[in-house]
Amino acid sequence: MTKNIEYAILLYHEASLADEQRNIERAEMLYMESRRIFEHEGGVHRRDAANIMNAIGFMKQKIEDHNGVLAAAQEALKVLGPVRYTEAGGDESEIRLQAWNLIGNTYRHQARYDEAEQILERALEFASSIFGEESEQASIARNHLGILYKYTGKFEQGEKLYRDALNNLTAKHGELHSSVAVIYHNLGGLFHARGDFATGEPYARKAWEINCQLLGENHPITLADAAAYAGVLDGLERHDESEPIYVLALEAFEKMYGPEHYEIVVNLNNLANVRYARGDYEEAEKLFRRALETKEKILGMDHPDTALTANNLGVLLQSLGRIDDARKLFQRALQVFTTRLGEDHPHVKMARENLAAV
């Protein structure tokens, strides 16, 4: 190993430490200097340079810099060059899969669902071909594609992908493993989206229980599991159990991320639904409006998630007799759902029914 490579590795580890400390500017500077050295050395070290770009992508993902994620992951693919199916399951294939999954998940977050589907399907095909149908890489790819299918209303396809991934991961790791908890979390979310809360409840609870043991109750992943479980409890009208979870999660996430983060607005929206169900309409409206304003800022006016909160606020205003305001919100939601999700999505049916009611 040359001194240059030793120095590049040192820079990479220093960058990782800065990343963990959320010193993003320093981490990116160190990552890029490490990448420069690896690329200059050439040969197999181009793979290391691509891996560093993925590391930057994951760092950008944590701070919700979606354009930054895309730029980093696309650069990783550019460094790797064209796909070679002779890669035979090595590190280069892992790095390529990570880049595709970063891009696909970012497209999903941006509601660019057709683009997301193309790249995530490609990732699953590649992972299955290179690493094997029952490999961990294929299970991860199934999970990412399953999440997309939940958002686009392809619930049966999503459920099959999740169950195949769950079978493979539990066979490999047993129940008490972080990757297994991810699938349980997502199965709970899928049944929540379907409105089948009773079926989803044990999956969502299992994810929370596993990560409580592995990570502790106050870890951000555990708190996200808790909040997802609370969403299922709401569907079962167990608001006495769900409300304190939302309050705890909101307080913790605001300390971790500040006021404008996706985890914040999800919990604001869900807590507003609880307050509405309990008849505290004034507080519910405040929470819905704060969630809507923040979603408009971080996701955009025409994002389906933003439209969902607009729809929920419309339901509240309708119940208060403010029909004109409710109608405008339902019309807005319906337009976004129809444009971004297609006529067959359950959200479209919901918004049409709400609009017809006013």
* Contact status, residue 185 vs residue 207, Cβ threshold 8 Å: yes
SS3 206: helix
The reported pLDDT for the residue numbered 87 is: 57
The reported pLDDT for the residue numbered 79 is: 95
Q: What is the largest CA-CA distance in the chain?
A: 74
Q: For each successive 10 residues of the chain (358 residues), what is the average pLDDT?
A: 89 96 95 95 91 97 94 97 71 95 97 96 96 96 98 96 98 96 98 96 98 96 97 96 96 91 93 94 96 94 95 95 95 95 90 92
Residues constituting the chain: 358
259-263 CB contacts, 8 Å cutoff, 24+ apart: 259/294, 260/294, 260/297, 260/298, 261/64, 261/298, 262/64, 262/298, 262/299, 263/220, 263/224, 263/227
At position 99, the amino acid (one-letter code) is A
The reported pLDDT for the residue numbered 133 is: 95
Measured CA to CA, the distance from residue 72 to residue 215 in angstroms comes to 29
The reported pLDDT for the residue numbered 42 is: 85
Measured CA to CA, the distance from residue 200 to residue 156 in angstroms comes to 14
Q: At 63, phi and psi to the nearest 5?
A: -100, 10
Closest to 284 measured CA to CA, from 267, 262, 264, 269: 269
The model's pTM = 0.90
Enter the tokens of residue 96: 């390529």
Return all residues near 139 (Cβ < 8 A) that are at least 6 apart.
Answer: 164, 165, 168, 169, 179
Closest to 109 measured CA to CA, from 303, 252, 267, 246: 303
CA distance readout (Å), 181 to 62, 146, 224:
19, 15, 12
Q: Which CATH number is associated with domain 273-358?
A: 1.25.40.10
Indicate the DSSP class of residue 175.
S
* Contact status, residue 193 vs residue 150, Cβ threshold 8 Å: yes
